[in-house]
């Protein structure tokens, strides 16, 4: 009988083999792709965070767009001020003769040409501009009058195309204001407009007959008729015989600065009727340019050798203001000819006689760019209100260029060093990222946040480390296996407890509880360890027959009722202790000792976050101790060492890398924890290690501020930087821990 093969035919077999091999390859390919995908996506986190942070490091860039000769910029009619309108379509040139010319930025083509309206026989004698954001400018005349005006742009959208129609408005009336009742020509002029409260303008002028005039013009609108009435308050400086080069008055109407030669005179004019000279400082070199930064608090002084420095009045101990030199910027190669502040930030551009344009920023003391734009001196500069374009006048040459200057506020120095902020008496570390108005100086010091992070982690570790490690020692080495089987999972489950719950309990229950029972808290912190030792002593004194009832390894159970009882007693006696020792309120007592006490403080965070970290440390340390090879400990015991000696002499040295790695991972967790610190502290960014005050950590700061910040702004990127710092820090910590742990595993296996 012929045995037929049960196998399928050769072709079928081959086909099946092909299919199987195809499946095998598909599976290999799919799995490999998924593996790479996961590795890639995890790497992406790091790369992306880095990519978002990178622009911080970039300086500024100027890219020329257009260059043209403009017939209207001539020797006969030099420019007094150039401005760019916010859509960067038009520019306006105020000439020193009173001509106002609007032109297209990219071609120089004239759009509108008008003249300031003055009385017929009157001529322009001086010019002044208030802060750029308001756009107010003033012309002084030969007859002692001042005309206030503002460029005005009407937007319309015919055929869905934006069209800008330029014009001039006279917000304080078309009738010029008589600054000098005696009618002398005004040679120098300064003007500022108030942005708070009722519209008001401050004008300071210097006349050809050497008088110093001050005037405050305020308008009041009648509620019913809508008619505006004007009020002018005039005053004159006491005799002051200098020939000024610049006069600058600030928008709070408090300070007046006069530059002459190399000297800067500082007047207090807050009492308009009694202005007084406070101080004269010598800059050391001839002052060639003087301008306020936005907010008109800081002055930037440019000198003939190209020096640039920032000054502002600082309040001293006697509550008196003194003009102080704050910082200097990178020197220009030529004498500074013009300074233009940015509209909404504390930055400025400066032009010099060698044709260089510099982009500087005050707070971060950064010079972002110093670039030669022309062969001839830069006479006038303009920067767009959104910091995206620059216009330079040099001779008859006009250059229009686009500007990239996104993150000038950030520098290593601004982030990590003390910075002298406007209005502060000393350089300080401050985190204050945003405020309501445009004049606000952002304060981006990462020191308060880093200190807060370390402070929270430090107190948490102070609490968690002893408890976690000691509990691990006992569980792994002394505890009976039966009890260990219950205790270990109990503590480990807590690792998964949502931290929002711990945070909420810390903030809403623990913080008020501690505030009311402060003596109890300290009694517990000090008394509990003593109680444990005392219990040990009492136990050793007990007769042997009683001791035999509870074998070794059950001490922890014996201690539970004692600890609970002590805790209850401490809390119950707390009000009496408070009355007896601290005059009824320990909190008040602390305050009297000069210690600030916040309800949500570092002690609360330390306890709550320590509680969250204990299981992490415990779990890893316990594993390390438990896995110490048994023959080592048995050998030690056999040689006559006590269990504790074995523990200290044999187990601990062997397992110490594991314990170390547990501490590292626990520390990493404490550093990055968000919800507990968010809920259990006041989140105030302060720099100290007082246990009774709160803090603000990097992570909580991200959670609070990131949802509110503008995408792509410096603030946004700095929060990404904070995330990157956290990421890198914990990653390094964990890597160290993991490497240590792997080494340990290898060592155990070789023992």
Please report whether residue 689 would count as binding other proteins according to CB under 8 A: no
**What does the DSSP assignment read for 636-703?**
HHHTT--HHHHIIIIIHHHHHHHHHHHHHHHHHHHHH--HHHHHHS---------TTS----HHHHHH
Nearest to 334 by CA among 299, 298, 308: 308
What would the x/- binding string for other proteins be over residues 433 to 472, using CB under 8 A?
Answer: ---------------------------------xxx-xx-
User: In the set 131, 180, 623, 673, which binds other proteins (CB under 8 A)?
Assistant: 673
CA distance 284 to 296: 23
Please report whether residue 27 would count as binding other proteins according to CB under 8 A: yes
* Nearest CB to other proteins, comparing residues 92 and 465: 465
User: In the set 175, 229, 579, 634, which binds other proteins (CB under 8 A)?
Assistant: 579
User: In the set 197, 551, 640, 707, which binds other proteins (CB under 8 A)?
Assistant: 707
* Nearest CB to other proteins, comparing residues 171 and 643: 643
User: In the set 119, 274, 462, 564, which binds other proteins (CB under 8 A)?
Assistant: 564
Please report whether residue 568 would count as binding other proteins according to CB under 8 A: no
Which parts of 355-394 interact with other proteins (CB under 8 A)?
Answer: none
- Smallest distance, other proteins to C-beta of residue 490, A: 6
Please report whether residue 708 would count as binding other proteins according to CB under 8 A: no
Contact (Cβ atoms closer than 8 angstroms) between residue 353 and residue 334: yes
Which parts of 333-352 interact with other proteins (CB under 8 A)?
Answer: none
CA distance 438 to 294: 8
Task: Starting at the earlier edge strand, list the strands of the sheet with 200-207.
Answer: 186-193, 200-207, 212-221, 228-236
Contact (Cβ atoms closer than 8 angstroms) between residue 134 and residue 193: yes
Phi-psi region of 226 (alpha: psi -120 to 50; beta: other; left: phi over 0): left
Q: What end-to-end distance do the CA atoms of the chain give, in Å?
A: 66
* Nearest CB to other proteins, comparing residues 305 and 734: 734
User: In the set 238, 731, 743, 747, which binds other proteins (CB under 8 A)?
Assistant: 731
Please report whether residue 30 would count as binding other proteins according to CB under 8 A: yes
From the list 80-88, 257-265, 305-313, 584-592, the region that binds other proteins by CB under 8 A is 584-592
**Residue with tokens 């014996």, as numbered in its chain:** 558
Contact (Cβ atoms closer than 8 angstroms) between residue 296 and residue 317: no
- Smallest distance, other proteins to C-beta of residue 366, A: 25
Contact (Cβ atoms closer than 8 angstroms) between residue 288 and residue 302: yes
* Nearest CB to other proteins, comparing residues 665 and 744: 665
* Nearest CB to other proteins, comparing residues 281 and 483: 483
Nearest to 170 by CA among 122, 124, 223, 219: 219
Please report whether residue 117 would count as binding other proteins according to CB under 8 A: no
User: In the set 50, 440, 727, 748, which binds other proteins (CB under 8 A)?
Assistant: 727
Contact (Cβ atoms closer than 8 angstroms) between residue 661 and residue 741: yes
* Nearest CB to other proteins, comparing residues 12 and 320: 12
User: For the chain, what's the residue count?
Assistant: 751
Nearest to 61 by CA among 549, 408, 320: 408
Please report whether residue 687 would count as binding other proteins according to CB under 8 A: no
* Nearest CB to other proteins, comparing residues 191 and 671: 671
Contact (Cβ atoms closer than 8 angstroms) between residue 125 and residue 142: yes
From the list 142-150, 167-175, 652-660, 668-676, the region that binds other proteins by CB under 8 A is 668-676
CA distance 733 to 742: 14
- Smallest distance, other proteins to C-beta of residue 656, A: 16
From the list 211-219, 257-265, 390-398, 575-583, the region that binds other proteins by CB under 8 A is 575-583
Which parts of 602-631 interact with other proteins (CB under 8 A)?
Answer: 611, 614, 618
521 beta partners: none
* Nearest CB to other proteins, comparing residues 196 and 544: 544
Which parts of 647-666 interact with other proteins (CB under 8 A)?
Answer: 647-648, 665
* Nearest CB to other proteins, comparing residues 306 and 672: 672
CA distance 533 to 302: 73
Going by C-beta distance under 8 Å and a sequence separation of 6 or more, which residues neighbour residue 391?
82, 84, 91, 105, 381, 382, 383, 398, 399, 400, 401
- Smallest distance, other proteins to C-beta of residue 688, A: 24
- Smallest distance, other proteins to C-beta of residue 462, A: 14
- Smallest distance, other proteins to C-beta of residue 603, A: 15
Contact (Cβ atoms closer than 8 angstroms) between residue 438 and residue 294: yes
* Nearest CB to other proteins, comparing residues 458 and 478: 478
Q: How far is CA 36 from CA 26, 40, 727, in A?
A: 15, 6, 21
- Smallest distance, other proteins to C-beta of residue 108, A: 35
Assigned token pair, 415: 């982030």
The tally of CA atoms less than 13 A away on the side-chain side of residue 722 is: 32
Please report whether residue 32 would count as binding other proteins according to CB under 8 A: yes
CA distance 532 to 539: 11
Phi-psi region of 289 (alpha: psi -120 to 50; beta: other; left: phi over 0): beta
User: In the set 228, 645, 653, 688, which binds other proteins (CB under 8 A)?
Assistant: 645
Which parts of 404-433 interact with other proteins (CB under 8 A)?
Answer: none
CA distance 205 to 750: 90
Long-range contacts of 160-164 (CB under 8 A, 24+ apart): 162/87, 164/85, 164/87, 164/89, 164/90
* Nearest CB to other proteins, comparing residues 252 and 470: 470
* Nearest CB to other proteins, comparing residues 261 and 527: 527
Which parts of 4-23 interact with other proteins (CB under 8 A)?
Answer: 20-21, 23
Which parts of 470-499 interact with other proteins (CB under 8 A)?
Answer: 470-471, 473-475, 478-479, 487, 489-494, 496-499
Number of residues that bind other proteins (CB under 8 A): 117
* Nearest CB to other proteins, comparing residues 435 and 645: 645
Which parts of 494-553 interact with other proteins (CB under 8 A)?
Answer: 494, 496-501, 503-505, 507-509, 516, 528-529, 531-533, 535-537, 539-540
Which parts of 51-70 interact with other proteins (CB under 8 A)?
Answer: 52
């Amino acid at each position: 009988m012929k045995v037929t093969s049960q196998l399928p035919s050769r072709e079928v077999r081959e086909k099946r083999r092909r299919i199987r091999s195809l499946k095998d390859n598909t599976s290999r390919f799919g799995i490999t792709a998924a593996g790479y995908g996961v590795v890639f996506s995890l790497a992406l986190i790091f790369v992306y965070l880095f990519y978002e942070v990178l622009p911080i490091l970039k300086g500024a860039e100027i890219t020329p767009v257009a260059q043209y000769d403009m017939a209207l910029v001539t020797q006969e009619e030099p420019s007094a001020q150039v401005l760019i309108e916010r859509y960067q379509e038009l520019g306006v040139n105020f000439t020193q003769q009173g001509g106002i010319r609007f032109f297209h930025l990219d071609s120089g083509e004239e759009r509108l040409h008008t003249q300031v309206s003055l009385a017929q026989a009157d001529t322009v004698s001086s010019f002044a501009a208030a802060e750029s954001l308001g756009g107010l400018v003033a012309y002084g005349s030969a007859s002692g009058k001042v005309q206030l005006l503002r460029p005005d742009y009407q937007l319309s959208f015919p055929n869905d195309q934006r069209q800008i129609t330029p014009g001039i408005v006279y917000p304080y009336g078309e009738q010029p204001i008589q600054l000098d009742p005696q009618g002398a020509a005004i040679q120098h002029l300064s003007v500022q407009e108030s942005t708070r409260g009722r519209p008001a303008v401050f004008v300071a002028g210097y006349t050809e007959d050497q008088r110093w005039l001050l005037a405050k013009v305020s308008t009041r609108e009648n509620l019913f008729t809508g008619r505006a009435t004007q009020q002018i308050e005039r005053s004159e400086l006491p005799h002051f015989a200098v020939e000024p080069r610049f006069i600058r008055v600030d928008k709070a109407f408090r300070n007046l600065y006069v530059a002459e030669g190399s000297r800067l005179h500082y007047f207090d004019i807050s009492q308009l009727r009694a202005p007084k000279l406070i101080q004269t400082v010598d800059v050391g070199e001839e002052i060639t340019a003087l301008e306020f930064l936005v907010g008109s608090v800081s002055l930037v002084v440019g000198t003939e050798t190209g020096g640039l420095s920032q000054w502002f009045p600082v309040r001293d101990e006697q509550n008196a203001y003194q003009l102080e030199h704050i910082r200097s910027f990178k020197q220009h190669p030529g004498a500074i000819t013009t300074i233009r502040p940015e509209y909404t930030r504390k930055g400025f551009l400066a032009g010099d006689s060698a044709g260089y344009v510099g982009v500087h920023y005050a707070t971060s003391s950064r010079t972002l760019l110093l670039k030669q734009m022309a062969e001839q001196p830069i006479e006038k500069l303009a920067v767009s209100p959104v910091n995206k374009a620059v216009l330079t006048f040099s001779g008859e040459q006009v250059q229009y260029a686009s500007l990239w200057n996104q993150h000038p506020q950030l520098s290593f120095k601004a982030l990590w060093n003390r910075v002298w902020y406007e209005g502060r008496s000393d350089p300080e570390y401050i985190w204050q990222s945003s405020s309501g108005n445009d004049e606000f100086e952002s304060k981006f010091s990462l020191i308060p946040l880093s200190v807060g992070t370390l402070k929270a982690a430090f107190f948490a570790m102070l609490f968690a480390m002893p408890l976690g490690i000691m509990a691990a020692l006992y569980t792994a080495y002394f505890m009976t296996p039966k009890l260990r089987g219950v205790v270990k999972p109990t503590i480990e489950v807590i690792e998964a407890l949502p931290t929002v719950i711990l945070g909420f309990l810390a903030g809403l229950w623990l913080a008020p509880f501690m505030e009311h029972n402060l003596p109890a808290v300290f009694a517990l912190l000090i008394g509990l360890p003593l109680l444990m030792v005392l219990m040990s002593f009492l136990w050793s004194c007990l007769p042997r027959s009683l001791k035999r009832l509870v074998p070794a390894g059950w001490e922890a159970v014996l201690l539970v009722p004692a600890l609970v009882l002590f805790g209850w007693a401490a809390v119950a006696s707390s009000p009496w202790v408070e009355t007896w020792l601290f005059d009824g309120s320990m909190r008040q007592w602390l305050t009297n000792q000069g210690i600030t006490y916040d309800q949500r403080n570092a002690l609360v965070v330390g306890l709550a976050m320590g509680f969250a970290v204990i299981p992490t440390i415990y779990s890893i340390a316990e594993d390390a101790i438990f896995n110490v090879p048994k023959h080592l400990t048995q050998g030690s015991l056999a040689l006559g060492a006590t269990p504790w000696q074995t523990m200290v002499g044999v187990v601990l040295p062997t397992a110490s890398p594991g314990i170390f790695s547990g501490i590292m991972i626990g520390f990493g967790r404490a550093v990055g924890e968000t919800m507990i610190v968010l809920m259990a502290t006041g989140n105030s960014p302060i720099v100290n290690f007082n246990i009774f005050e709160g803090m603000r950590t990097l992570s909580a700061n991200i959670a609070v501020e990131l949802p509110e910040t503008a995408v792509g702004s410096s603030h946004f990127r700095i929060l990404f930087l904070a995330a990157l710092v956290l990421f890198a820090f914990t990653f390094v910590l964990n890597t160290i821990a993991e490497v240590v742990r792997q080494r340990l595993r290898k060592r155990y296996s070789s023992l």
